[in-house]
Amino acid sequence: MNSRTPAGIVVGVDGSPQAAAAAEWAAQEAGRRGCSLHLVHAVNTGTVTLSPRTSEAVTDLILKNARDVLDESLGKLAAAHPELHLTGDVVPREAALAILTAAEHSELAVVGTRGHGGFASLLLGSVSLRVCAHSGCPTVVVRQGSSTGEHILVAIRDERDGEALRFGLREATTTGLPVRAVHVWSPVVADVAHAAPMIDELGEEARLHEQLLHHTCDPVSEEFPGVPVHAEHLAGATAATLVEASRQAALLVIARHPPAPHFGLRLGTALHAVLHHAHCPVAVLPV
């Protein structure tokens, strides 16, 4: 078992429908990219506290069952995607750590919203959140039953998000879809309906956000002259606006910015909400 096997794309599997959806999305993406796909099935064998002989037998049984689950996943993907180079490992360690380790030398990590170990009431499991928060490569969270979508949606927060747009444009070149780049902002001016001068201030604020959007998007868009890009800025709550916009998207790309000093939150509140509620797969890009 080699938990550090390099691969183009790494996907976590555990036999759950959510993981199966993630694996299928990852297989399609690997086919579009022309790269390999590596499956990781993590199992915890460190909780057995019986006698040494019994403990060894139980561990062997756990690993055998895990191998059966992995082989079934590999078999289904091989039948559906015979052109793919597929590999897989059973890794006896905590799931998020196993996926993060396998993805260290990969282009992309893919996870489902939650697996067998998660609570049914949770929209997104702790494993997926941890991988999104700590992965050094882009991570895609695939929601079971996600629609095909009409475009690649890219969230633009500020000028650091040029790489997120570049990722979205690369996806667009392989899917044949256009890109919609959206910058969401909350007006600083309050109660504009009751003060005419504030309306002018709001207009100026909107112009500044439009400048930021085009200053970020235009240079990157020029690198992909064949991909249609529609850039727009919208006033409103970031998470709610992006979640609503994701209804028509095939993929939502959003950057993971470094945590603010003294707070230690690996995922911002807007990103956290988007991961829980988006209607399409979400690609989280560390910047």
What's the confidence (pLDDT) of residue 97?
94
Task: Check: CB of residue 252 under 8 Å from CB of residue 155.
Answer: yes
Give the distance, in angstroms, between the CA of residue 224 and the centroid of all CA atoms in the same chain. 22
The tens digit of pLDDT for each residue in 212-252 reads 999 999 999 999 999 999 999 999 999 999 999 999 999 99
pLDDT for 119 beyond 90? no
| More confident: 121 or 211 | 211
Averaged pLDDT of the chain: 87
pLDDT given at position 44: 79
The pLDDT of 132-161, averaged and rounded, is 92
Q: What is the pLDDT of residue 267?
A: 77
Which whole number is the average pLDDT over 119-141? 82
Work out the percent of the chain whose per-residue pLDDT is above 70.
Answer: 83
Q: How many CB atoms lie within 10 A of CB 259?
A: 13
Q: For residue 260, what pLDDT is reported?
A: 57
What's the pLDDT score for residue 121? Answer: 42
Query: What is the average per-residue pLDDT within 77-105?
Result: 95
Q: Averaging pLDDT over each range in 1-10, 138-147, 194-203, which range is the top one?
A: 138-147
The domain limits of the chain are 9-142, 151-286
Output 131 or 49, whichever has higher pLDDT.
131
Query: What confidence score (pLDDT) does residue 117 get?
Result: 52
Read off the pLDDT of residues 50-78 as tens digits, 9 standing for 90 and up. Answer: 555 556 777 888 889 999 999 999 999 99
Q: Summarize the confidence of residues 127-138 as an average pLDDT.
A: 94
The string of DSSP codes covering 71-112 is HHHHHHHHHH-TTS-EEEEEE-S-HHHHHHHHGGG-SEEEEE
- Indicate the helix (H) or strand (E) that contains 179: strand 179-185
pLDDT surpasses 80 at 114: no
Does residue 3 register a pLDDT over 60?
no
Is the distance from CB of 124 to CB of 141 less than 8 angstroms? Answer: yes
> What is the architecture, at CATH level 2, of domain 151-286?
3-Layer(aba) Sandwich (3.40)
| pLDDT reported for residue 254 | 97
In 3D, which of 8, 258, 51 has the Cα closest to residue 158? 258
Return the number of other C-beta atoms located less than 10 Å from residue 85's C-beta.
13
Q: In the predicted model, what is the mean pLDDT of residues 73-102? A: 95
| Whole-number pLDDT of residue 2 | 47
Specify the CATH superfamily of domain 9-142: HUPs (3.40.50.620)
